[in-house]
Amino acid sequence: MEEVLTSPFDNLSARPSRILSIGRGLAIALCLLCLCPSGVAGLPPLQILQGAPPITGTVLDSAGSAIAGAQLLLLDATGRKLAESTTDGQGRFTLPIDPGPEAGLVLEVQASGFTAQRRPIDRAALPQPLEIRLPPGTVAEIVTVTPTRSEVRVVDAPASVSVLTSRELNAAAAQTFDDLLRQVPGFSIFRRSSSLVANPTTQGVSLRGVGATGASRTLVLADGVPLNDAFGGWVYWSRLPRRAVEQIEVVRGGSSDLYGSDALSGVIQVLSRSLPRPTIDLELTTGTRGTHDLTLFGGHRWNNFTASLAAEGLTTDGYFLLAPELRGAAEGAA
Strand partners, 164: 248
82 domain residue, yes or no: yes
Domain match, 267 and 170 both: yes
| Shared domain check, 258 and 149 | yes
Question: Which of 24-38, 95-109, 142-156, 276-290 has the least mean pLDDT?
Answer: 24-38
Paired with 131 in beta bridges are 58
Domain boundary pick from 272, 290, 314 = 272
In this prediction, residue 34 carries a pLDDT of 53
Separation of first and last alpha carbons in the chain = 107
How would you class 181 by CB atoms within 10 Å of its CB: exposed for 0-12, middle for 13-18, buried for 19 or more? buried
Which is nearest to 265 in space by CA: 214, 222, 212, 226?
212
Residue 213: pLDDT band (50, 70, 90) is low
Q: How high is the pLDDT of residue 47?
A: 37
The CA-based angle 267-272-275, given to 5 degrees, is 155
In a domain, 260, yes or no: yes
Mean pLDDT of 32-38: 49
Q: Is residue 46 part of a domain?
A: no
- Residue 306 structural domain: 275-334
Q: Does a structural domain hold residue 154?
A: yes
**pLDDT for res 46:** 35
Shared domain check, 253 and 160: yes
183 and 252 belong to one structural domain: yes
Residue 39: pLDDT band with limits 50, 70, 90 = very low
Residue 9 pLDDT grade (very low, low, confident, very high; cuts 50, 70, 90): very low
At 98 the pLDDT is 66
Instruction: Look at residue 250 and tell me if it is in a domain.
Output: yes
Residue environment code for 214-240, b if the CB has 16+ CB neighbours within 10 A, otherwise e: bbbbbbbbbeeebbbbeeebbbebbeb
**Quick check: is 147 in a domain?**
yes
Domain final position from 113, 134, 155:
134
**CA neighbor of 279 nearest in space, from 311, 304, 309:** 309
Task: Say whether both 265 and 292 belong to one domain.
Answer: no
- DSSP secondary structure code for residue 179 in this structure: H
Tens digits of residue pLDDT in 254-274: 766 677 777 777 888 888 888
**Rounded to whole angstroms, what are the CA distances from 269 to 165, 174, 249?**
12, 18, 5
Highest-scoring range by mean pLDDT, 6-20, 78-92, 97-111: 78-92
Residues 194 and 189: their CA atoms lie apart, in Å, by 9
Pair (293, 268) in one structural domain: no
Task: Check: CB of residue 205 under 8 Å from CB of residue 216.
Answer: yes
Domain total in the chain: 3
Q: How far apart are CA 236 and CA 220, in angstroms?
A: 10
**Is residue 140 scored above 70 in pLDDT?**
no
Task: Pick the range with the lowest mean pLDDT from 128-142, 208-222, 275-289, 308-322.
Answer: 208-222
Contact between 60 and 132 under an 8 Å Cβ cutoff? The reply is yes
If pLDDT is split at 50, 70 and 90, which confidence band does 29 have?
A: low
Residues 185, 243 within the same domain: yes
Domain final position from 75, 108, 134: 134
Q: pLDDT band at residue 50, thresholds of 50, 70 and 90?
A: very low
**pTM, rounded to two decimals:** 0.53
| DSSP three-state, residue 298 | strand
**Confidence (pLDDT) at 241:** 84
Distance set, CA 252 to CA 15, 163, 264, 285 (Å) = 103, 11, 10, 33
% of the chain exceeding 90 in pLDDT = 1
What is the predicted pLDDT for the residue at 37?
46
Mean pLDDT over 3-11 rounds to: 46
Mean of pLDDT values over 115-130: 77
For 200, residues 6+ apart whose C-beta sits below 8 A from its C-beta are 229, 234, 235, 236
Q: Using alpha carbons, list the distances in angstroms from residue 330 to 66, 92, 198, 218, 333.
A: 60, 62, 19, 37, 10
Same-domain status, 152 and 230: yes
- Residue 11 counted as domain residue: no
pLDDT tens digits, one per residue of 160-184: 778 888 888 877 777 777 888 888 8
Within-domain flag for 327: yes
CB count within 10 Å of CB 194 equals 15
One domain, residues 249 and 310? no
DSSP, residue by residue, 132-153: EEEPBPPPPPPEE-TTTSS-EE
Lowest average pLDDT, out of 66-80, 141-155, 233-247, goes to 141-155
CATH number, domain of 105, equals: 2.60.40.10
Mean pLDDT calculated for residue range 113-122: 84
Domain of 227: which CATH number?
A: 2.170.130.10
Q: Are residues 163 and 234 in the same domain?
A: yes
Q: Is 226 found in the same domain as 156?
A: yes
Let me know if 328 is exposed, middle or buried by CB neighbors in 10 A (0-12, 13-18, 19+): exposed
pLDDT at 224: 83
Across 62-146, the runs of DSSP E, i.e. the strands, are 71-75, 81-86, 92-95, 106-110, 117-120, 130-134, 143-144
Q: Are residues 216 and 267 in the same domain?
A: yes
Beta bridge partners of 126: none
Residues counted in the chain: 334
Q: Is the dihedral of CA 65, 71, 72, 78 positive or negative?
A: negative
